[in-house]
Structure 1
């Protein structure tokens, strides 16, 4: 059944209109849809055209929501899709909206991944593995991540960032046994997402040497705690347990024996 548009009334919201067919309210539309379908008073509309216009308006509304979401920062396709889904937009409308955004180059996961890697390497201490994990969570494909890391985060830059982080970690753990400090530096680099190659280069080139006085002070501090903890044992068992614990913590056996000798003299 064909009906005629008898009135087009502007809504309070800018760019939105209500359409009346045969003096009865029929459907709302956006200005973009009105222009696209050249809607005017007196135009005849059958059921098929009405359904097409309503569907186009659904896409137009979803597109506006997506633009608002994209206006704050770059987003991945998954983030935009999930945002529209959370707002109860129909899946077919989401698909049409996503296609429109792609055609207008408003969505590009490769550009997003490139920008994310560039920002992460400048503003954080994260290595490639953690960056990859973050991009995966945002729905970026593996090949796009590979390309972004390869093009935006060179080995030299990874080594520079990892070296800076290693130096901070070394200062943080400087009062522990030297071997323990080295292991914690290595573990810290791994936790932050740096790869084995980068870590190897950094550890090998890191100019850190143990300070004998600091190492001795750290051993005494931890040794005294262990010595008190093991006080219920006879001296030989007490010494053995304390030695074993201090060795496990990474202290040198010569320093450990010196500490035990001093405890023996004190006893």
Structure 2
């Protein structure tokens, strides 16, 4: 009986073992039988009751002592060996503060890296713009091809636009005037090139109007879409090409100058007017 009482006390202290012990069948052993026989031979039941009561009291006392010991250990934040635990005390607060500082430091590092990358992107953009002019789209693609982060590239591009270092309108007008004067490009070819460079359509139209039109909107400008001064410049350049084909027949010379004008982006109205004027002033 004392063994049974002790086992119950043990199960009370260690409830996790109760399922394991209950799952096993309780088979009586010979030693248990002898003990029970000895208790049966003892006539006074008061001794048995006192034994039960004493065993229970001892078990309860042991359990209370263990629980008090555990509470004291937790309250003093020490384990069984006397090592400090401090689950919610100073050490825990210090560890939490240290973790917060590490997170703040990591955020600063990230911000520092980001700022460093932005500076690198800005430096690369300045070097590119020092070599030649770029549109906004061209510069963005060029910087992204160098494997810079997209957000850093967008930041630099927006900053350069706000400071006037990037301006698609100025670029489109400068490009149009340069191609018109040096290569005799017409409005159609210039517009196509600017679209490929990512210039917005509104900037493209405005740039070609400034180069090929004088704003009066009458005479040759209304008929051909380009000003009289532009027609005169085009006729002078076409005359050079016409003279180079003096050994050709009239049809071949006409076809040659038509292809030259069409390739440079002039519409049929301008092309036909130039060819007729060339034939009139330079007869075969």
When normalised by structure 2's length, the TM-score is 0.55
Partner of 2:109: 50
Return the structure number with greater helix share.
2
The 5 A counterparts of 1:79-90 are 79-90=138-149
The answer on whether the counterparts of 1:127 and 1:158 sit within 8 Å (CA) in structure 2 is no
Indicate whether 1:149 and 2:205 are aligned.
no
Higher-Rg structure is: 2
Q: For 1:85-128, what per-residue CA distance to the aligned partner results, in whole angstroms no more than 9, with x for missing partners? A: 12110112111111111111111111100111122222222222
Contact persistence 1:136–1:142 (CA under 8 A)? yes
Which one of the candidate residues 181, 203, 208 is aligned to 2:275?
203
RMSD of Structure 2 on Structure 1 (CA)? 2.1
Distance 1:88 1:175 in 2: 56
Shift of 1:80: 0.9
Matched, 1:160 2:232: yes
1:92 equivalent in alignment to 2:191 = no
Contact 1:178/1:210 (8 A) holds in 2: no
How many Å separate the matches in 2 of 1:72 and 1:127? 26
Relative to its length, the structure with more strand (as a share) is 1
Specify the SS of the correspondent of 1:85.
helix
Tell me the SS of whatever aligns to 1:2.
helix
Gaps of 5+ in 1: 4-44, 212-267
Cα distance between partner residues in 1 of 2:162 and 2:172: 19
The secondary structure found in structure 2 opposite 1:126 is coil
**Given the superposition, is the C-alpha separation of residues 122 and 136 from structure 1 closer, same or farther in structure 2, using an over 3 Å criterion?**
same
Dislocated runs of 4+, deviation >3 Å: 207-211
The answer for unaligned runs of 5 or more in structure 2 is: 1-99, 214-225
Normalising by the residue count of structure 1, what TM-score does the alignment of the two structures yield? 0.58
